[in-house]
Amino acid sequence: MLRKIGDYVILMGQALRRPPKFSIFRRQLVHEFYSLGVTSFLIVAILSVFVGAVAAILVAYNIDNPLLPDLMIGFVTRQMVIQEFSPTIICIILAGKLGSQIASELGTMRVTQQIDALQVMGINAANYLIMPKIIACLLFIPVLIIFSIFLGIYGGYVACDILNIISTEDYVLGLRSWFDPWTVTFALIKTVVFSFIIASVSSFIGYNVNGGSVEVGKASTDGVVYSSILIIFFDLILTQMLLS
Amino acid sequence: MIRIENVSKSFGDKKVLKNVSAEFEQGKTNLIIGQSGSGKTIMMSICTGLVEPDEGEVFFNDRRFSNLPERKRRDIRKEMGVLFQGGALFDSMNVEENVMFPLNMFTKMSYKDKLDRVDFCLKRVNLENSNKLKTKELSGGMMKRVAIARAIANNPKYLFCDEPNSGLDPKTSELIDALISEITEEYNITTIINTHDMNSVIKIGQRINFLYRGQLWWKGDKNSILTTENKELQEFVFATELTRRLR
Ligand SMILES: Nc1ncnc2c1ncn2[C@@H]1O[C@H](COP(=O)(O)OP(=O)(O)OP(=O)(O)O)[C@@H](O)[C@H]1O
Ligand SMILES: [Mg+2]
């Protein structure tokens, strides 16, 4: 276990260096943006709307108390979406998609000797392959999460409207009550940490595959499992650290 | 010329190479032959620096290569071309981008010059007008040929081929052999080829090194191999029904 952590740190040390040729790095980065980022928009959009709607329904169901004003529903939904649903749940979903994608891509490159081919040419393969993935994730996942926050809140709005839980005016009023910008900063800090976990952990697992296609399959699962566990773990730590 | 001196390598308790010394000549096809598991790929990986030897040294024209930091190996690396057992083409790129890759990494040539060089190399392996094909659209033999084109793109002085004709039909396999030996002579390259295909051994084996249980057991050429008295080598050479009958 300690050895794994050591190997991980060493790999990140190799990966996170200044690329020798910027033009090639930029090309890789654009490629990763497309293959990791653009393809994730749809799934994030769909999930966010539904999760936001469910959040609003749940809140309405649980605070069905005449003493609590209706605007509580909008308020609590907003807080939940900003602080937990979008940054954590969506990042775990992304860990499922991107983690397996990254781990199996690098694992395949390892077992088909594409990584050896890079090393033989004297290329720092970790830097060439992993760095663009990490940078791409650090840049686009926060964008996805902000997008998801808006859609999640909109999902709650739709739920209120269609299911007639409360009037949409009350919902919007709730949304605009007691807004603390720090919650958004908090969400973004979490997202950045989670993005790094997704990209680096699954890269580490894929890069170190040893064997054949069975091991690539296993690496792809491991990429998802380990990045999800670490996300939940760091969620706890960060929430404790930043909100208390 | 490539020289390896007293190279040993173990994995755990398993001794894969035991005190091997050999010299590979310039302008010649130098073969490493031996059974599966005899250590051919490991020996090549030690030459290309993918695996470090436990003991011993590797020299490229008297420049030491083994046990050096990556930064000091760069100059020799630019002069190497490697053909991997499975081709190892980058599957995120098409044929042209694969062949151009070493040029992008190592040279400051203009795009036009690089493209000319790519076309030349592809023509050399009989794959004109395949520039835009994706790697998944290639057959096994085409993949090997594209991999050869990539290996020779940057005019290597040293060419390593790990089982260049495994998994190919006899005709394609002869084509690849002929191609490698032509290139070797034409550009005076030091070529090292791993194989256990007796047909290529007899055809292009200008220098032959026989590995047996991690030791360099026998050296010779394509003529002397057929008349050898060495028992282990005889077993290897005449392992198939066909070769036994011909004998
Ligand atoms: N990374 C490794 N860890 C442990 N053992 C290894 C490793 N790589 C190779 N070996 C062992 O070293 C021995 C030689 O392997 P090598 O790949 O060089 O064989 P080979 O002669 O190329 O065989 P083939 O003709 O099948 O390709 C084998 O017995 C193999 O099990
Ligand atoms: Mg081998």
Mean pLDDT of B70-94: 90
Query: Which residue of B65, B83, B93, B101 to mutate against A (max A Cβ within 10 Å)?
Result: B101
Tokens, residue B238: 């005449």
Distances from the Cα of A16 to the Cα of A57, A98, A99, B174, angstroms: 44, 19, 19, 45
Residues with Cβ within 8 Å of B243's Cβ and at least 6 positions away in sequence, in order, are B198, B237
Q: Which residues of A touch B101 (CB under 8 A)?
A: 121
Main-chain phi, psi angles of B194, to 5 degrees:
-90, 135
Mean pLDDT of B166-184: 87
In three-state secondary structure terms, B122 is: helix
HEC profile of chain A? CHHHHHHHHHHHHHHCCCCCCHHHHHHHHHHHHHHHHHHHHHHHHHHHHHHHHHHHHHHHHHCCCCCCCCHHHHHHHHHHHHHHHHHHHHHHHHHHHHHHHHHHHHHHHHHCCHHHHHHHCCCCHHHHHHHHHHHHHHHHHHHHHHHHHHHHHHHHHHHHHHHCCCCHHHHHHHHCCCCCCHHHHHHHHHHHHHHHHHHHHHHHHHHCCCCCHHHHHHHHHHHHHHHHHHHHHHHHHHHHHHHC
Judge if pTM exceeds 0.80: yes
Separation of CA B37 and ligand 1 centre (Å): 5
The Cβ-side half-sphere exposure at B63, using a 13 Å CA radius, reads: 11
Separation of CA B40 and ligand 1 centre (Å): 8
In three-state secondary structure terms, B63 is: strand
Distances from the Cα of A32 to the Cα of A35, A38, A138, A196, A235, angstroms: 5, 9, 12, 15, 26
CB burial readout B37-73, b (16+ within 10 A) else e: ebbbbbbbbbbbbbbebeebbbbbeeeebbeeeeeeb
In a domain, A138, yes or no: yes
Where do we find the tokens 């969620």?
Answer: A235
pLDDT tens profile A117-148? 999 988 899 999 999 999 999 999 999 999 99
Architecture of domain B2-79+156-246: 3-Layer(aba) Sandwich (3.40)
Report CA Rg, chain B.
18
d(CA A135, CA B131): 31
Compute the nearest-CA separation of B94 from chain A (Å).
Answer: 14
Mean pLDDT of B153-178: 89
Taking CA B219 as the corner, what is the angle to CA B217 and CA B223, rounded to the nearest 5 degrees? 130
pLDDT tens profile A90-101? 999 999 999 999
The Cβ-side half-sphere exposure at B152, using a 13 Å CA radius, reads: 27
In this prediction, residue B168 has a pLDDT band, given cuts at 50, 70 and 90, of: confident
pLDDT at A70 over 80: no
Which residues line the pocket of ligand 1, CB cutoff 6 A?
Answer: B 11, 16, 34, 36-42, 196
d(CA B50, CA A2): 25
Separation of CA A123 and ligand 1 centre (Å): 24
In this prediction, residue B7 has a pLDDT band, given cuts at 50, 70 and 90, of: very high
Mean pLDDT of B199-214: 91
Residue-number span of the structural domain to which A110 is assigned: 25-237
pLDDT at B167 over 80: no
Pick A113's closest partner by Cβ from B78, B84, B105.
B84
Average pLDDT over all residues of chain B? 90
Where do we find the tokens 């390593």?
Answer: B160
Q: Is B132 on the interface with A (CB under 8 A)?
A: no
Helix (H) or strand (E) holding B192: strand B190-195
Mean pLDDT of A29-56: 91
d(CA B122, CA B148): 9
User: Does A121 sit within 8 Å of B106, measured CB to CB?
Assistant: yes
pLDDT tens profile B55-69? 999 999 989 998 888
User: Does B85 sit within 8 Å of A120, measured CB to CB?
Assistant: no
In three-state secondary structure terms, B223 is: coil
In this prediction, residue B85 has a pLDDT band, given cuts at 50, 70 and 90, of: confident
In this prediction, residue B165 has a pLDDT band, given cuts at 50, 70 and 90, of: confident
Compute the nearest-CA separation of B158 from chain A (Å).
Answer: 12
pLDDT at B88 over 80: yes
Please report the pLDDT score of residue B84 as a whole number. Answer: 92
User: Does B70 sit within 8 Å of A121, measured CB to CB?
Assistant: no
The residues spanned by each domain of chain B are: 2-79+156-246, 90-155
Q: Is B69 on the interface with A (CB under 8 A)?
A: no
Q: Which residue would you say has higher pLDDT here, B70 or B54?
A: B54
Q: Which amino acid is at A163?
A: L
Average pLDDT over all residues of chain A? 91
d(CA A211, CA A161): 54
In this prediction, residue A52 has a pLDDT band, given cuts at 50, 70 and 90, of: very high
Mean pLDDT of A11-17: 90
In a domain, A9, yes or no: no
Pick B74's closest partner by Cβ from A109, A116, A122.
A122
ipTM of the complex, rounded to two decimals: 0.89
Where do we find the tokens 């605007």?
Answer: A71
pLDDT tens profile A175-212? 888 888 888 999 999 999 999 999 999 999 999 999 88
Number of domains in chain A: 1
pLDDT at A164 over 80: no
| Residues in chain A, overall count | 244
Distances from the Cα of A200 to the Cα of A13, A129, A130, A146, B134, angstroms: 11, 11, 8, 22, 28
In this prediction, residue B137 has a pLDDT band, given cuts at 50, 70 and 90, of: very high
Please report the pLDDT score of residue B245 as a whole number. Answer: 81
